[in-house]
């Protein structure tokens, strides 16, 4: 086998687009998500189109025992993960903190922070042992700036940025690279999940604006991981041209 990449949240959106661009560049893939049927469809598609090897694993990154069992017991030919893409993440709701649903907070914290930690903890020791590897954390502009109703989600993405920085310190002296990719508005299933499946409400988020696509972010990931090994793209912020900050875009901007 050639290089191996492991992608969490690979059944849709940025994770799926990243799987495709890596497969296009002849990288074998471990793809994980909660929706196994989608992973199997993606496996068949990528193997047919790009002639790479693909291992689908049903995985909920919030479940510590499941993560440890699945990722520390990979088949021998899949054990040496070269690239880890911590992509699994979500937002739930836009409530003010005082009105927030605690169950939503726990889902975001368990997925965006603890899930990233569990997966990284399972994969990183092998990278350190081999003195080789690249970890990409998909963060967000929301980790740099907050916005009304974004309280807990923004806090989780700020945590991803700080964890990325801390991890660079933890692996200093090795040949392991830690990369953070921080997109602004991306049209995926993100808003559908945020609004509990309300497709019409989600569509309005992207009306009269040209957001990023999942493929735009995947191309940024590929650029970062394909740099020479002595080069680390520490942190890349990727924004739609029509968005100037986490809160400000052409739909809500009025010139004075």
CA–CA gap between residue 208 and residue 251 (Å, rounded): 7
pLDDT attached to residue 57:
98
pLDDT attached to residue 1:
66
pLDDT attached to residue 214:
97
Q: Where are the alpha helices (DSSP H) in 171-230?
A: 190-194, 199-205, 214-225
Give the position of tokens 């520490």: 234
Q: What is the pLDDT of residues 163-174, one digit of tens each?
A: 999 999 999 999
Contact 22, 50 (CB under 8 A): no
CATH topology of domain 4-238: Rossmann fold (3.40.50)
Q: Where are the alpha helices (DSSP H) in 51-150?
A: 64-71, 102-108, 116-130
Q: What is the CA radius of gyration of the chain?
A: 18
CB contact set of 131 (below 8 Å; sequence gap of 6+):
174, 175, 176
Residue ranges covered by each domain of the chain: 4-238
Q: How far is CA 224 from the centre of its chain?
A: 14
Count CA atoms within 13 Å of residue 63 on its CB side. 11
222's tokens: 């590929």
Q: What is the pLDDT of residues 193-226, one digit of tens each?
A: 788 787 888 788 888 899 999 999 999 999 999 9
Residues that are catalytic: 153
If you average pLDDT over residues 62-76, what whole number do you get? 97
- Pick the closest to residue 89 from 146, 30, 155, 23 (CA basis): 155
């Amino acid at each position: 086998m050639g290089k191996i990449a492991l992608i969490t949240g690979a059944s849709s959106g940025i994770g799926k687009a990243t799987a495709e661009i890596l497969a296009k560049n002849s990288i074998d893939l471990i793809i994980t998500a909660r929706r196994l049927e989608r992973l199997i469809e993606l496996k068949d598609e990528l193997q047919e189109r790009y002639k790479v090897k693909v291992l689908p694993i049903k995985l909920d990154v919030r479940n510590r025992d499941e993560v440890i069992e699945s990722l520390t017991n990979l088949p021998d030919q899949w054990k040496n993960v070269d690239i880890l893409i911590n992509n699994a993440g979500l937002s739930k709701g836009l409530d003010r903190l005082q009105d927030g649903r605690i169950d939503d907070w726990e889902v975001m914290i368990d997925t965006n922070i603890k899930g990233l930690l569990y997966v990284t903890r399972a994969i990183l020791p092998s990278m350190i042992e081999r003195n080789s590897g690249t970890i990409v954390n998909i963060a967000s502009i929301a980790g740099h700036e907050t916005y009304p109703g974004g309280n807990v989600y923004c806090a989780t993405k700020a945590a991803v940025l700080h964890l990325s920085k801390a991890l660079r310190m933890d692996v200093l002296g090795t040949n392991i690279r830690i990369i953070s990719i921080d997109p602004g508005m991306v049209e995926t299933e993100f808003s559908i999940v945020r609004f509990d499946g309300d497709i019409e409400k989600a569509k309005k988020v992207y009306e009269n604006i040209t957001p990023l696509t999942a493929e735009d972010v995947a191309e940024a990931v590929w650029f970062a991981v394909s740099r020479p090994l002595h080069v680390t793209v520490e942190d890349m912020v990727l924004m739609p041209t029509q968005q100037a900050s986490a809160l400000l875009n052409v739909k809500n901007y009025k010139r004075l």
